[in-house]
A and B are shown apart, each in its own frame.
Chain A
Amino acid sequence: MSSPDLDVRHIARLARIALREEEVSTFQGQLSRVLEHIEHLKKLDVSAVEPTAHTYPVFNVTRDDLPKASLTRDSVLSLAPRAANNLVVVPKVVE
């Protein structure tokens, strides 16, 4: 059984992952079974429950806004797949 709501091809595009045809159908089946499994969460009445985003109440952690040492330009650029003239090279994005 496949979940009618899950369109793997569409969601994969949103996630910027290209998929081959056979991957679309495999993932569709596997993820539909996972979604069926998690359906049981709908049994619970959570209307009066606050969500938990973090397990420990820490809020608004700030630091002094002071300059300090960071990675060097060369060490960062040496990791880029393509770099030239102290810049990362990417495909043209503006026509």
Chain B
Amino acid sequence: MDLTRLTLSEIQAGYRAKSFSPSDILRALEARIRTVEPTIQAFLSRDFEAALRRAEEADVSLPLGGIPIGIKDVINVYGDPCTCASKILQGYIAPYDATVIALLKTAGAIPFGRLNMDEFAMGSSTENSAYQITRNPWDISRIPGGSSGGSAAAVAACEVPAALGSDTGGSIRQPAALCGCVGLKPSYGRVSRYGLVAFASSLDQIGTFARSTRDCALLLNIIAGSDPMDSTSLDQSKEDFTAQLGRDLKGVRMGIPKEYFVEGMDVRVKATIEAAIQQCAEHGAELVEISLPHTEYAVSVYYIIATAEASANLARFDGIRYGYRADQPKDLSDLYLRTREDGFGNEVKRRVILGTYVLSSGYYDAYYLRAQKVRTLIRRDFSAAFENVDVIVCPTSPDLAFPIGERTDDPLKMYLADIFTIAANLAGICGISVPCGFALEGDHKLPVGLQFLGKSLDEARLLGIADAYERVSGWSKEHAPI
């Protein structure tokens, strides 16, 4: 048995049957990481010895006892680095646990390793990391998606059984699709963001990567819940998200948004998605054509709201209290200007500048306020759609994983890659990407992801439907060739 290929649920079962121990799993993962990591480069850092000590003391009767979980480098874990893949936080050691980390530790899990990402979660390819390029385990000449590309690649390359990421405009679902794993973005307010370094506070949400929908449900059971440290977390956030696992697709009303099947999508992605939807129908789902008429505005609204919020959130990186500080500043202004010049990468600079512009005097109404109003129209589209369907089904990404370097000089083209994931963040609803087949590109099989979107706080049903699709399709059992 290859211990690195097991799902979280299979690891739990193995612990309880005493087939293997948490230390066995940690050692197997470490050996795997040493083999593949020189190529994949998903980890920014990891402390194997510390994780092994926790594994030796693990109580496997706890809900996630002895389960190692990789952590995106944007979530604080006490005593570990937390750089957000930025030079401006080089050397920063987290002085506290994020709420999700405290909850995972209480449930017995072992946070293991810091996973690469686009700097401050800004990007769709993980190429904006200040430290390294992460490679897609299905084709190492291609990007893993982003911004949580390290999390997706580590799960897909069997370096960890599951990982945490963050999703502001698709940063969990898109890399999950491109790397062939399952990625869940919970509803806004479902999971506390305390200890998540903020990018766009009205959009950010912590979520999970795993090799099955069931595993995502098990993790959400632990990390969901209201938290006095995050006033946007909701009281009604705790429930059993495994409640609908094992159901079938009979009678499920699936909305197919016609705006999500437009020109410009990769034809192989389109064909794979259409076949997956047909398979749902063959297993009893009722397909309903729906319209989300403001879809074409989502990317524009997002790049106004997200950059505006980012320009405010990233003001804290000023070289005073933590992180990098420029050498020998002439005065305070020089310290700010040069610290941020040296500390931030190009994409972060671009977005902070754009966000500052759309909030600046004379432009606020034309850009930011207008974007917030169009955001209302996008929310209404989804509210109307969910009156008639249980779940919306569509592609996660219009593209397959693209070659490293292909889009780094064209930010607008990179932004448009998020076209199918962004609206869920603007509307605050939940979404999941599950593997639904492959497209051939030369000698390589490249994964395609099917996205299910559920209404706000309807994760239990969303997970039930995604799990039902996963079991009839079987694609989640495929492993990357690395």
Q: Are B352 and A15 in contact (CB under 8 A)?
A: yes
**CB contact under 8 A between A90 and B332, given known A11-B357, A19-B349:** yes
Q: A34-B303, A81-B323 are contacts. A53–B202 as well, Cβ < 8 Å?
A: yes
- Residue pair B303, A27 in contact (C-beta under 8 Å): no
Which residue of chain A has its CB nearest to the CB of B343?
A: A17
Residue of chain B at shortest CB distance from A64: B228
| Chain B residues closer than 8 Å to A40, beta-carbon distance | 296-297, 300
Given contacts A19-B349, A31-B354, contact A91 B332 (CB under 8 A): yes
Q: Is the CB of A16 within 8 A of B370?
A: no
- Say whether B173 faces chain A, with CB atoms less than 8 Å apart: no
Cα separation A76 to B188 with both chains bound (whole Å) = 30
Knowing A54-B232, A56-B234, A76-B95, the reply to whether A31 touches B303 (Cβ < 8 A) is no
A13 to chain B, nearest CB (A): 8
Query: Out of B300, B324, B338, which one reaches A18, CB within 8 Å?
Result: B338
Segment among B100-108, B267-275, B313-321 that sits at the interface with chain A: B313-321
B-side interface residues, number (CB < 8 Å) = 71
Q: Are A46 and B370 in contact (CB under 8 A)?
A: yes
- Interface residues of B: mostly helix, strand, loop or mixed? helix
Chain A residues with Cβ under 8 A from B318's Cβ? 16
Task: Say whether, besides A6-B357, A49-B373, A55 and B188 are in contact (CB < 8 Å).
Answer: yes
Q: Which residues of B contact A23 (CB under 8 A)?
A: 346, 349
Q: Specify which chain B residues have a CB less than 8 angstroms from the CB of A27 in the assembled complex.
A: 349-350, 353
Given contacts A53-B202, A55-B427, A41 and B300 within 8 Å (CB-CB): yes
Interface: B335 (CB within 8 A) = yes
Cα A51 to Cα B369 with chains together (Å): 7
Q: Among B332, B369, B377, B427, which residue has its beta carbon within 8 angstroms of that of A93?
A: B332
> By the criterion CB–CB under 8 Å, are B232 and A80 in contact?
no
- Which A residue's beta carbon lies closest to that of B377? A49
Contacts of A44 in B (CB 8 A): 294, 297, 374, 377
| B5 on the A face (CB < 8 A) | no
Task: Output the residue of B188, B189, B300, B331 with the most chain A CB within 10 A.
Answer: B300
CB distance from A14 to the nearest CB of B (A): 5
A5 to B329 alpha-carbon distance, docked (Å): 32
Instruction: Provide the residues of chain A in CB contact with B372, threshold 8 Å.
Output: 51-53
In the complex, whether B344 has a CB less than 8 A from a CB of chain A is yes
Q: Which residue of A lies closest to B95 (CB)?
A: A75
- Chain A hits for B341, CB < 8 A: 17-19
Nearest-neighbour CB distance to chain B for A82, whole angstroms, equals 7
Alpha-carbon distance A79/B338, docked complex (angstroms): 19
User: In the assembled complex, which residues on chain B have CB atoms less than 8 Å from the CB atom of A55?
Assistant: 188-189, 202, 379, 426-428, 456
CA distance A79 to B317 in the complex (A): 13
**CB distance B202 to A11 under 8 Å?**
no
- The answer to whether B321 touches A18 (Cβ under 8 A) is no
CA distance A51 to B354 in the complex (A): 20
B375 contacts the other chain (CB 8 A): yes
What CA separation (Å) do A56 and B114 show in the bound complex? 31
Report the separation of the CA atoms of residues A82 and B328 in the bound assembly, to the nearest whole angstrom. 12
Residues of B with C-beta under 8 A to A13 = 337
Contact partners of A91 in chain B: CB under 8 A: 329-332, 334-335
Given A38-B303, A90-B332, decide whether A58 and B337 contact each other with a Cβ distance below 8 A: no
Chain B residue with Cβ nearest A60: B231
Please, how many angstroms separate the alpha-carbon atoms of A29 and B350 in the complex?
Answer: 11
| Contact in complex: A80, B322 (CB < 8 Å) | yes
User: Is B142 part of the binding interface, using a Cβ–Cβ cutoff of 8 Å?
Assistant: no
- Is the beta-carbon distance between A34 and B325 smaller than 8 angstroms? no
Cβ–Cβ < 8 Å partners of B415 in chain A: 34
Q: Given A41-B300, A46-B370, verify A56-B189 contact (CB < 8 Å).
A: yes
> In the complex the two chains form, is B344's CB within 8 Å of A17's CB?
yes
- Chain B 79-123 near chain A by CB (<8 Å), digits 1 or 0: 000000000000011011000000000000000000000000000
Q: Look across to chain A and name the residue whose beta carbon is closest to the beta carbon of B348.
A: A17
Complex Cα–Cα for A51 and B371 (A): 8
Complex CA gap A56/B272 in Å reads 34
Q: Answer yes or no: B356 CB below 8 A from chain A CBs.
A: yes
Give Cα A80–Cα B95 distance, bound, in whole angstroms.
12
Could you tell me if B360 and A14 are in contact, using CB atoms closer than 8 angstroms?
A: yes
The minimal Cβ–Cβ distance linking B363 to chain A, given in whole angstroms, is 8
Tell me whether B353 and A11 are in contact (CB under 8 A).
yes
Select from chain A the residue with minimum beta-carbon distance to B311: A15
Residues of chain A with a CB closer than 8 A to B346's CB: 23
Task: Check: B411 CB closer than 8 A to any chain A CB.
Answer: yes
Contact with B along A1-29 (1 / 0, CB 8 A): 00001101001111111110001000100
**Which of chain A's residues has its CB closest to B202's CB?**
A54
**In the assembled complex, B336 has its CB within 8 A of some CB on chain A:** yes
CB-nearest residue of chain B relative to A30? B411
Interface residue B279 (Cβ < 8 Å from any Cβ of A): no
Which residue of chain A lies nearest to B359 when distances are taken between CB atoms in the complex? Answer: A14
List the 10 shortest-distance A-B pairs measured between CB atoms, nearest first: A55-B428, A51-B372, A81-B325, A61-B231, A38-B300, A46-B373, A18-B341, A18-B337, A79-B322, A16-B336
14 interchain pairs, CB-CB under 8 A:
A16-B333, A17-B341, A19-B349, A34-B415, A41-B300, A41-B371, A44-B294, A51-B375, A52-B372, A55-B202, A56-B232, A61-B231, A79-B321, A79-B322
